[in-house]
Amino acid sequence: MIDIKNIREQQSLIQDRLSKRDKSINLDNIISADVSLRELTKKLNDLQSDQNQQSKEIGILKSEGKADTSVFEKLKELSNTIKNLEAEHRTKSKDLKNMLLELPNIPHSSVPIGTSEKDNALIRDCESKKEINFSPKSHVDIAQELDLVDFEAGAKISGAGFPLYKGNGALLERALLNFMIDFHLKNYNYTEFFTPFLVKPDSAITTGQLPKFDEDMYHIEKDELYLIPTAEVPLTNIHKDEILELSAIPKYYLANSACFRREAGSYGKDTRGLLRVHQFNKVELVKFVHPDSSYEELESLKNQAIKLLDLLELDYRIIELCTADLGFSAAKCYDLEVWAPGEEKWLEVSSCSNFEDFQSRRGNIRFRDENGKVDYVHTLNGSGLATPRIFAALLETHQNDDGSITIPVALQPYLGLAEIK
């Protein structure tokens, strides 16, 4: 959430930056709501001061036996006026907060300016793709021929977009997750969590999924809970409404979880096989850091994902998202995409984002600096990695002419196999 004080003091600058995201964003309504609320606050404060003064005067009159009914009626009338204005104040405060919650984060000044994903910047291209000397198959065909994924059974159980991994397919999925978890725990000082998959609305508000993207989330209305779209949501909310000591940051958190996404509005878009599913597994990384180091931490997060892709022997490229394609909560974001030779397309497998203080303001996550001043931490998150597209790219990249799959060397100890056939 953007600080209303910053909007008040730097409206022109913030308007300009947000317009580079979306030209329809207009801060005038927020400024008007803020002015109205502050005027009402002043009026309330003045009336409450009058109320206190009148109460003191009535106390003196009563002690002197001079109070009559008129002074009590006047005080009662003032009290009723204050009560009505307090109700109006609560409504206006809520309305302003809701307007701020709908406002996306301010893009960092280094983010490329653009109007669509076509304007994303290619930071690092794939120098040369792995050579395949035969016509590569799609992961869908490979998975079915090797009996790794039963798409029909998954659809029978839950509907389209819910793959059922089986046999060596289930083993490969588990091996990928364990490999990625161990990689981060052994090399980067993460603390592992196993989080709830259901969260309160306030938790999703903290990370920015609500209220903006309610339609994309699975909502259990009876219990007023949401299935998580990523473990970023529960991990970030671990420190909601807390003040961390300076010595306690940075904090690096990791969780493997199932992720659930309705993918509203994506009908007919990359729905084949494992490319766009409603339930999938992902190793999520979340950082709580000092504001001064958050962009160094973003580069570190990106490099961790790169090393994983190198170990999995996949061809990849790195994209920096432009202002128009930037995620709602992000100030800056890198996407890592792997090449799927069977599908003949690039697949996003990791997003690494710096949210600066956008999420921490929404969740009231703060720290105390060396001078005792309390400020908001910066939060970051990255995928390390999401398995469906990694699974698909791995099958397509490491397929052999005889129909078998060669397992990358780093993954073999987790699978107990050098190939699947």
Region for residue 147 given its phi and psi (left: phi exceeds 0; alpha: psi -120 to 50; beta: otherwise): left
Tell me which residues are annotated as active site.
261, 276, 348, 351, 389
Percent helix, strand and coil across the chain, each to the nearest 5:
45, 20, 35
- Are β-strands 365-368 and 242-245 bridged in parallel, bridged antiparallel, or unpaired? parallel
Instruction: Give the CB-side neighbour count of residue 200, counting CA atoms within 13 A.
Output: 8
DSSP letter string over 224-259? TEEE-SSTHHHHHGGGTTEEEEGGG-SEEEEEEEEE
Tell me how crowded residue 107 is: count the other CB atoms within 10 A of its CB: 22
Q: Which helix (H) or strand (E) holds 406?
A: strand 405-406
The distance in angstroms from the start CA to the end CA of the chain is: 51
CB-neighbour burial class of residue 252 (10 A; exposed 0-12, middle 13-18, buried 19+): buried
DSSP letter string over 139-159? HHHHHHHTT-EEHHHHHHHH-
**Furthest-apart CA pair in the chain: how many Å?**
106
Sequence-ordered list of residues with C-beta below 8 angstroms from that of 415, at least 6 positions apart, any chain: 171, 172, 175, 407
